[in-house]
Amino acid sequence: MISLLNLFGVFFRIGVFTFGGGQAMIPLLERDLVAHLRWVSMTEFLDFVAISEITPGPVAINMATFVGYKLRGLPGALITSLGVIMPSFIIILFIAIAAHTFRTNRWVSAFLDGLQPVVLALLVYAVFSIGRAGIPAWWGYVASAGILLLILKYGKRLNLFLTLLAAGGLGLLIFR
């Protein structure tokens, strides 16, 4: 049986080396858990990824919980989730303690200004990749454009959580 400490260690290490958001973690998890340690099979792994992508919460935490639960039940699920969260928690906490605000001097400020266009590009790419992976038919994009117009028109008066639930309801009706 795999020890809890071992589980924690593996997920902590994955947490340390995942830059660029939770999605970036998937290839790393695959290499470690499927190819290297052989804790889960490839089919199971793909199943976990598919479910993690459509369930609430950061994908990295979903994945960790899945694998932990599969290997060691509830304690395993909690340990792996903790392991994957700890690195980013500690690092961001240090940043926050060191500087309450980012723009501490003009060079840092220039650096942050310089990467704003890159963030814009990343967001544009995210729209395309999420749409391509998750929207099964062209009328989904039409519906998406409609929701976009609603958000732009009604702005803050529109409850975003309800909008997502309504979009889900719409999905039940329009997707076959």
Partner 1 sequence: MEQRKTIRYTAGHASLRKQLLLFWVFFAIGSFTIGGGYAMVLMMKRYLVERYHWLTDEEFYDMLAISQVTPGPIAVNMATFVGYTQGGIPGSALGTLGVSIPAIVVIIVIAVSFPGFRDNVWVQRFFAGVIVGVVAQITTVVLDLAKRQKWTIVSGFVCAVSLAILFFVRQVSPIWLILAGGIVGVIVEACRRRDREQSTGEA
Q: Is 157 in the site for partner 1 (CB under 8 A)?
A: no
Which residue from 5, 42, 96, 104 is in contact with partner 1, where contact means CB under 8 A? 96
Q: By CB under 8 A, which span of 2-10, 32-40, 145-153 interacts with partner 1?
A: 145-153
To partner 1, the closest distance from the beta carbon of 79 in angstroms equals 11
* Site for partner 1 contains 15 (CB under 8 A): yes
Which residues, in sequence order, are CB contacts of 77 under 8 Å at separation 6+?
Answer: 64, 65, 66, 68, 69
Residue 42 or 121: the one with the smaller Cβ distance to partner 1 is 121
CB burial of 123-133 (b: ≥16 within 10 Å; e: otherwise) equals eeeeeeeeeee
Residue among 10, 11, 22, 71 that touches partner 1 (CB under 8 A): 22
Tokens linked to 21: 């958001």
The answer to whether 140 contacts partner 1 (rule: CB under 8 A) is yes
Q: Does 8 bind partner 1 (CB under 8 A)?
A: no
C-alpha torsion 100→101→105→106, nearest 10: 170
Q: How far is the CB of 38 from partner 1 (least distance, A)?
A: 20
Q: Which of 1, 38, 157, 161: binder of partner 1 (CB under 8 A)?
A: 161
- Is 98 among the residues that bind partner 1 (CB under 8 A)? no
Min dist CB 30 to partner 1, Å, is 14
**CB 30 within 8 Å of CB 45:** yes
Helix (H, G, I), strand (E, B) or coil at 21: coil
Are 7 and 83 spatial neighbours (Cβ–Cβ below 8 Å)? yes
Site for partner 1, residues 31 to 90, rule: CB under 8 A = 47, 50-62, 65-66, 69-70, 74, 77-78, 81, 84-85, 87-89
Least separation in angstroms between CB 27 and partner 1: 10
DSSP assignment letter at 18: -
Q: Nearest 5 degrees, angle CA 45-CA 51-CA 57?
A: 115
